[in-house]
């Protein structure tokens, strides 16, 4: 069986360095917010070209704390998309704000700037004001940042980039995370930069947001045991930071391998019945996932499973149609037809840097046998 993702393979690729880093950290006796976290925060901020990065306990916490660091909460509305991990919407609600879900570009599955502007022109039934937007760089393809930023500045919106699937992606040569006011990352094990458990980070060029974020992640402490503001416990572990310090050095190389795998799929599957990913000319995606479409999606996946090819659906049910949010989430004007149609057709082929040429040939061979 060729799996759709394989975080163990990435550990094994760097096992000697990772094991040494973990052993050093274990022997240090310091396991929370120590030198490994400080080193990673500096290195990750430098990698992004930003002034500040703060490690937190998960990608969900990264988004939640980014929203709170921006001063957003009860009474505020935030625009985002429904075709995303539920964490995006959960984080908005954890901060007390209200999500407003708009439709996506049907080719890239990222937030449609026109739908954002339509939502801003339409009063919400709750009477709330939209104060921010969270563009999700889904599957490693950047959202249309210049257009989103232009709209955001025109309407005085804060921009919180959801970079959970886009470590190292660029638009017009500029890194994601560097366009908006603040950005959130996940280090879930299957991410392009993945830990051995949960972890996340928030990055920004704005010192006041960085300072507030670091207060929020540890009980609001400036002085230990004295809370200046209400906060919570969301700290990146030293052991995870030690591993991430190793893996960050290989991120660009592994992203390049993901692009090479995507090019191979593009070349060998373009004449099949599948709809392949579309890359905007200005975009430099990092292919967290390679997502294709088929009106026969479920039958195709079942046949591929029988042939030893693992696939997944990212994501099978849009957030606004899930039990927790159905009938409660606010939807932008025109509804979400592209989001809903895509949810019945999309699925992800195997995508991780350690895929061998022989495995790639097998994937293509079996896909072609199934879809023609």
The CATH number given to whatever domain includes residue 120 is 3.40.640.10
Q: Is residue 119 part of a domain?
A: yes
Residue-level pLDDT at 30: 96
pTM: 0.97
Domain count, the chain: 2
Quote the distance between the C-alpha of residue 284 and its chain's center: 15
Residue 184: give the domain boundaries: 7-102+109-248
Q: How many helices (H) and strands (E) does the chain have?
A: 13, 15
Taking the C-alpha atoms of residue 360 and residue 340, their distance in angstroms, rounded to an integer, is 30
Residue-level pLDDT at 327: 84
User: Do residues 227 and 331 share a domain?
Assistant: no
Q: From the first residue on, what is the mean pLDDT of each consecutive set of 10 residues in the chain (372 residues)?
A: 98 98 97 97 98 98 98 97 98 97 97 98 94 98 98 98 98 98 98 98 98 97 94 97 98 98 98 96 98 98 98 98 92 97 98 98 98 89
CA end-to-end span of the chain: 21
Residue 60: its H or E element: helix 59-69
3-state helix, strand, coil in the chain (%, to 5): 40, 20, 40
Domain boundary pick from 201, 227, 248:
248
Domain boundary pick from 199, 227, 248:
248
Q: Is residue 2 part of a domain?
A: no
**Inter-residue contact 46 to 65 (CB < 8 Å):** no
Residue 227, phi then psi, degrees to nearest 5: -90, 115
User: Do residues 211 and 267 share a domain?
Assistant: no
**Inter-residue contact 101 to 80 (CB < 8 Å):** yes
Residue-level pLDDT at 328: 86
Residue-level pLDDT at 123: 95
- Beta bridge pairs of residue 101: 80, 331
pLDDT tens digits along 261-304: 999 999 999 999 999 999 999 999 999 999 999 999 999 999 99
- Beta bridge pairs of residue 3: none
Residue-level pLDDT at 222: 94
User: Do residues 220 and 325 share a domain?
Assistant: no
Taking the C-alpha atoms of residue 237 and residue 7, their distance in angstroms, rounded to an integer, is 19
Task: Please give the full DSSP string across 70-82, using - where no structure is assigned.
Answer: TT--TTEEEEEES
Closest-CA residue to 95 (of 205, 225, 184, 192): 184
Q: β-strand 182-186 against 221-223: which pairing, if any?
A: unpaired
């Amino acid at each position: 069986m060729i799996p759709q993702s394989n975080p163990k393979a990435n550990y094994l690729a760097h096992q000697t360095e990772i094991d040494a880093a973990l052993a050093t950290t274990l022997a240090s006796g310091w396991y929370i917010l120590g030198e490994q976290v400080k080193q990673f925060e500096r290195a990750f901020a430098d990698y992004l070209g930003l002034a500040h990065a703060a490690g937190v306990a998960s990608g969900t916490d990264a988004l939640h704390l980014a929203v709170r660091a921006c001063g957003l909460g009860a009474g505020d509305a935030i625009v985002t998309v429904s075709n995303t991990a539920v964490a995006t919407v959960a984080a908005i609600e954890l901060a007390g704000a209200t999500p407003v879900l708009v439709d996506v570009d049907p080719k890239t599955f990222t937030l449609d700037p026109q739908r954002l502007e339509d939502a801003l022109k339409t009063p919400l039934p709750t009477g709330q004001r939209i104060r921010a937007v969270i563009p999700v760089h889904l599957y490693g393809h950047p959202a249309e940042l210049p257009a989103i930023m232009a709209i955001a500045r025109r309407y005085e919106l804060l921009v919180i980039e959801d970079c959970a699937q886009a470590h190292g992606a660029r638009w017009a040569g500029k890194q994601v995370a560097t366009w908006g006011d603040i950005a959130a990352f996940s280090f879930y094990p299957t991410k392009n930069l993945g830990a051995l458990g949960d972890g996340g980070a928030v990055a920004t060029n704005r010192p006041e947001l960085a300072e507030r974020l670091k207060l929020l992640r540890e009980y609001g402490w400036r002085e230990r045991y004295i809370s200046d503001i209400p906060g919570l416990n969301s700290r990146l572990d030293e052991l995870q930071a030690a591993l991430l310090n190793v893996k960050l050095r290989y991120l660009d190389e592994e992203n390049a391998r993901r692009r090479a795998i995507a090019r191979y799929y593009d070349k060998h599957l373009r004449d099949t019945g599948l709809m392949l990913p579309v890359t905007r000319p200005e975009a430099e995606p990092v292919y967290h996932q390679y997502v294709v479409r088929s009106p026969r999606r479920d039958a195709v996946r079942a046949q591929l499973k029988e042939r030893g090819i693992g696939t997944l659906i990212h994501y099978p049910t849009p957030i606004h149609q899930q039990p927790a949010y159905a009938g409660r989430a606010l939807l932008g004007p025109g509804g979400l037809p592209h989001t809903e149609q895509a949810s019945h057709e999309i699925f992800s082929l195997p995508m991780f840097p350690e895929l061998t040429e022989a495995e790639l040939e097998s994937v293509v061979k079996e896909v072609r046998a199934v879809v023609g």
